[in-house]
Structure 1
Amino acid sequence: MSSISNIGHFVLPNDALANLTEIYRWIGRNEEMYRVFKSDIDRIVEQTIQRDGYFLARILDLNITDTRMRLILTKDSNPRNKEERTLFRIKEALAKMQKHYKQMRHQSNDLLDYVNFIFGHYGEVKFAYAEADRRAVLQSQAKKSKRLIIDEINEKIELFLDKKAYEKLIVYSHYYIDFFNIAPFTDYNHAAGLLLLYLLMLKGEIEAFRYISFFELLYGEYPGFLKELQNASVNWKEGLAQTLGFVRFIFRFILQGYEKAEAVMNEYKFDSTLTKCDNIENTIFHLPRIFTKEEIRMQHPYVSESTINRTLIKMRESGIIKPLGKGRSAKWVRIAND
């Protein structure tokens, strides 16, 4: 028995309703955010994808060094092994979702295609089977492909959304709980579920996750996320799952995303009023005496590499800073404060 099938029994208390109302106020500001970021939208989304790829790799515990991860995600470095190929494919999948999420589907075959695209180099992933009818005479009748179970749930989702019977984010939260418990594939269900949730957030018009990293935020909240997901899975098979805690978590998580996106938007507005080089210089004066380019990038994610390099060269020629070492990992030291 799926959570989607029992969604009619779900009751939203006042505190969760207040959060949902606040979410829709933020959704109403999606166009405002887009107008602010419009001139740099491609670069901003690209950097969001890079951070999403990095933190999803951390969540999945991919055995890749930070240096190699950054080269693959930011420089399109060619993968050297299967783990790196997985990360490379994750980045491509995230980019496709960011670009085409409105048209993308989450039917069973679509999800299987995503999984095989990312993990197929380890071996083909197929649909798993669930027990169907214990009274069946033939063994073939006693098993039911989990593809059919996912498709049945998706049919109900489409019906609910077409008729506007239930609120979209509540429906999507319950769909994710069902996917987690059904585990429809022979492998990589956890990764598939996280990518599904990512897609569902975008399809739910949570456009904050175009400007800030969904998986970076999830990485910081991951223990709480797993706890609520496990709580929502108790008695799931019996159709008695208590899903409110997970829905509450998702609502709070979305609000955090929008608050972070607003902070980025305000910083972006401020940056646009200053020359980029002057703004970077100001940042350097507030960094530790010995610093790296990566620390500058963290403060100015939307400034190009060439602008950062130009500012460093200018400050070096002025005798304000000097390099310590060479190459990508070189550090800089501030030798003057004014």
Structure 2
Amino acid sequence: MSRLITLLLLYRSGYIVGKYISIEKLIEKTKETYYEVLQESSVNWHEGANSYEPFVKYYLGVILNAYREFSSRVKLLTTSGLSKPDRIRETIKETLGKITIAEIMQKCPDISHVTIQRTLVDLRKKGEIIKISGGRYTSYVWNREDE
């Protein structure tokens, strides 16, 4: 309930990124850290000597992450002249760390699964991306060795 109220307060203060990027999903991805900072912020609460700083810093980081993700999506959608394979390429290139097909589909909802798979095969053949693992846990990273 507190996260829902926080989201409402953010909207009322002009921080509308939560309408486009799920802040709840970002918290879910980092739920271990979320519970750690909640615990850290509650130490000595009964004595009135706790510090909310760890939680505030964490939550501000989540909001900043949401704006970065939103900015990244808008940048890709508004970049004129890029073909769908080029947008997939740029999505992977702009991602720090690994990315899955599901995440690519989330960032590029107008591109079909088949087009994404075809583009991934082409990018692997060219050596631009590296496939990590296989099967259900397959992910890809941009090959930064040639940069």
In structure 1, the gaps of 5 or more residues are 1-191, 288-292, 316-338
Q: How many residues align?
A: 106
Q: Aligned in 2, Cα 1:294/1:259: closer, same or farther, shift over 3 Å?
A: closer
Shift of residue 299 of structure 1? Answer: 4.2
Asked whether 1:199 is paired with 2:3, we answer no
Asked whether 1:298 is paired with 2:103, we answer no
Of 255, 264, 276, 2:64 maps to 255
Q: Which residue number corresponds to residue 240 of structure 1? A: 49
Shift of residue 260 of structure 1? Answer: 1.6
Give the ranges of 4+ consecutive aligned residues of structure 1 lying more than 4 Å apart after TM superposition. 280-284, 293-296
Q: Which residue number corresponds to residue 279 of structure 1? A: 84
Letter paired with 2:29: G
User: Counterpart of 1:251 in 2: which secondary structure?
Assistant: helix
Using the alignment, how far apart are the partners of 1:283 and 1:253 within structure 2?
Answer: 25
Q: Give a deviation string over 1:41-77, Cα, whole Å, max 9, x none.
A: xxxxxxxxxxxxxxxxxxxxxxxxxxxxxxxxxxxxx
Letter paired with 1:240: A
Shift of residue 194 of structure 1? Answer: 2.8
Of 40, 45, 49, 1:231 maps to 40
Q: Aligned in 2, Cα 1:214/1:269: closer, same or farther, shift over 3 Å?
A: same
Letter paired with 1:265: V
Shift of residue 238 of structure 1? Answer: 2.8
Using the alignment, how far apart are the partners of 2:9 and 2:87 within structure 1?
Answer: 40
Highest RCO, 1 vs 2 (Cα 8 Å, sep ≥ 6): 1
Q: TM-score, normalised by structure 1?
A: 0.27
Using the alignment, how far apart are the partners of 2:51 and 2:103 within structure 1?
Answer: 43
Answer whether contact 2:23 2:62 (CA < 8 A) is retained.
no
Shift of residue 256 of structure 1? Answer: 1.7
Letter paired with 2:23: F
Of 265, 270, 292, 2:74 maps to 265
RMSD: 3.3
Shift of residue 201 of structure 1? Answer: 2.8
Q: Which residue number corresponds to residue 143 of structure 2? A: none
Q: Give a deviation string over 1:107-133, Cα, whole Å, max 9, x none.
A: xxxxxxxxxxxxxxxxxxxxxxxxxxx
Shift of residue 218 of structure 1? Answer: 1.0
Q: How does 1:1-338 map to 2 (within 5 A)?
A: 192-270=1-79, 273-274=80-81, 278-279=83-84, 283=88, 297-301=105-109, 303=110, 308=112
- Percent identity over the alignment? 22
Letter paired with 2:24: F
Using the alignment, how far apart are the partners of 1:266 and 1:282 within structure 2?
Answer: 10
Answer whether contact 2:23 2:63 (CA < 8 A) is retained.
no
Using the alignment, how far apart are the partners of 1:261 and 1:226 within structure 2?
Answer: 25
Letter paired with 1:251: L
Answer whether contact 1:280 1:296 (CA < 8 A) is retained.
no
